[in-house]
Structure 1
Amino acid sequence: MAEPLIELKGISKSFGDALVLDEVDLTIYQGEALAIIGPSGTGKSTILRIISGLLAPDAGEIYIKGERRRGLVEDAEDPIGIGMVFQQAALFDSLTVEENVGFLLFQHSKLPRRVIRSLVNQKLEMVGLPRIGDRYPSQLSGGMRKRVSFARAIMSNPENPKDTPEVLLYDEPTAGLDPVASTVIEDLIRQLQCNEGGCTSYVIVTHQDSTIRRTADRIVFLYRGKVQWSGSLSEIDTTDNALIRQFFSGSVEGPIQVAG
């Protein structure tokens, strides 16, 4: 069995009267590609934010490489780097691509600008966007902005190797993209898992059937705040689980209640 990188134990989270996560247990292993799927509003993005340390759970424990995390990401340093790619890319419109990708190094390192520029160019090459460091986000297509956000997420800091992301979290990385652009992003996610300088483990939240099938090895299905099913990619077409069968068929008939 691969080494557990991240463990969630009994994680609960509410927003007002809405219980979004209800005593969720989840383990992320070294080297795996995990997809968290389920209907909208079931807490998938909330789990990513809790894993990343951007959001605190109401109850439960989080372990990063066996060490219990206390507080949020700014309260203590995790034993591994965890990068996050947000659904809307979340680039700074007033900064160039170079300044966006190298943002943490510009802000939190003493590296010379020429060194940061070289590191930025390496990451841009990895995501297939060489020589665009001087452009602004408004000059890029939606798919290009996504790839720039990937480059930023995998940026490493040679002054502090612990800052190098070992796990990447993708929140709906192909949302709003056409099928061809989605395929480019899906291929890139797999390439970054294999390439030196990328991340060997990742968790992806997605609704898109092609993205699930092309990027995931293991799948967790979240519904009504709980993990209702987990299995390998090959099992989604053979399982008798009614939730999975309804989700992938797109049927309005079944245990998943259709809003509205």
Structure 2
Amino acid sequence: MAEPIIELKKISKTFGDNKVLDKVDLAIKQGEALGIIGPSGTGKSTILRIIAGLLAPDSGEIYIRGRKREGLIEDGENPLGIGLVFQQAALFDSLTVEENVGFLLYQHSNLSRQKIRELVEEKLEMVGLPGIGDRYPAELSGGMRKRVSFARAIMANPENIKDNPEVLLYDEPTAGLDPIASTVIENLIRDLKAKTGGCGTYAIVTHQDSTIRRTSDRIVFLYHGKVQWDGKVNEIDTVENEMVRQFFSGSVAGPIQVIG
């Protein structure tokens, strides 16, 4: 068995009186497509932010390539490049697409503007959006903004290999999109996994049935702050776990409590 490249051990996180994560164990292996699912408010996005080093757990340990992480991402050298794709794309409205995608390089490299433009165009071509570098986010559809955020997440710095993303974390990448736009994004996530210069390992948080089935190989199901099930995506329709069955059937009857 391959060793995990990212491993969470007994991770807990509380916001106010709400214990979102309760001693969660989670591992991501090289080349894996991991889906993190469960009802709303069960800590899925919180886990992504903890993995990315943007949020510290209250307790527990995080290992990156076998090395324990201390503090947040800016507190030490990270042995693994991790890119996070936010749910709302999180583009800078005042910057062009080129400036958004090339933001890391403009801020943290000595590359010429022409070289950065060339690298940005390569990434835009990879996400199916060549030639839009001079547009602003407001001029793009929701699906296009999502793809631009993908291009930004996979942008590599040729001057510093440690900045190059090896793992992508997707937070609800198809939220708010129509079925056709969702399919485009789902296909792109799979394509980027296979492409040179893309990212071969990822974890994705989603509620959307088609996204779960088309982008994930392995699934972990979170509820009440704990991993309630861990299995392969092709086991979804035959698993006997009542929570998983209720989640995918959309039934209001079952162990998952319906709020409101």
Counterpart secondary structure, 2:74 = coil
Structure 1, 171-180 or 2-11: larger mean CA deviation: 2-11
Code of the aligned partner of 1:206: T
Counterpart secondary structure, 1:9 = strand
Counterpart secondary structure, 2:162 = helix
| Cα displacement string for residues 148-188 of structure 1 (whole angstroms, at most 9, x for unaligned residues) | 00000000000101111000000000000000000000000
d(CA) in 1 for partners of 2:78 and 2:122? 25
d(CA) in 2 for partners of 1:193 and 1:98? 23
Q: CA deviation at 1:3?
A: 3.2
Which residue number corresponds to residue 129 of structure 2?
129
d(CA) in 2 for partners of 1:67 and 1:239? 35
Aligned length: 260
Which residue number corresponds to residue 99 of structure 2?
99
Q: CA deviation at 1:77?
A: 1.8
Counterpart secondary structure, 2:75 = coil
Structure 2, unpaired ranges of 5+: none
Code of the aligned partner of 1:190: R
Q: Give me the identity figure in percent.
A: 78
Which residue number corresponds to residue 59 of structure 1?
59
| Cα displacement string for residues 63-92 of structure 1 (whole angstroms, at most 9, x for unaligned residues) | 000010001011112101000000000000
d(CA) in 2 for partners of 1:123 and 1:155? 7
TM-score (norm 1): 0.99
TM-score (norm 2): 0.99
d(CA) in 2 for partners of 1:99 and 1:224? 41
Which residue number corresponds to residue 12 of structure 2?
12
Which residue number corresponds to residue 110 of structure 1?
110
Which residue number corresponds to residue 186 of structure 1?
186
Code of the aligned partner of 1:72: L
Q: CA deviation at 1:49?
A: 0.2
d(CA) in 1 for partners of 2:45 and 2:233? 21
Which residue number corresponds to residue 86 of structure 1?
86
Q: CA deviation at 1:17?
A: 1.1
d(CA) in 2 for partners of 1:258 and 1:77? 43
| Cα displacement string for residues 196-254 of structure 1 (whole angstroms, at most 9, x for unaligned residues) | 00111000000000000000000000000000001001111111100000000000000
d(CA) in 2 for partners of 1:46 and 1:161? 27
| Cα displacement string for residues 72-114 of structure 1 (whole angstroms, at most 9, x for unaligned residues) | 0111121010000000000000000000000011011111111
Which residue number corresponds to residue 48 of structure 1?
48
Code of the aligned partner of 2:179: P
Structure 1, unpaired ranges of 5+: none
| Cα displacement string for residues 5-54 of structure 1 (whole angstroms, at most 9, x for unaligned residues) | 10000000000111000000000000010000000000000000000000
Which residue number corresponds to residue 203 of structure 1?
203
d(CA) in 2 for partners of 1:95 and 1:244? 42
Which residue number corresponds to residue 120 of structure 1?
120
d(CA) in 2 for partners of 1:98 and 1:56? 32
d(CA) in 2 for partners of 1:189 and 1:78? 24
Runs of 4 or more, structure 1, over 2 Å off, are none
Which residue number corresponds to residue 140 of structure 1?
140
d(CA) in 2 for partners of 1:93 and 1:76? 30
Code of the aligned partner of 1:66: G
Q: CA deviation at 1:2?
A: 2.7
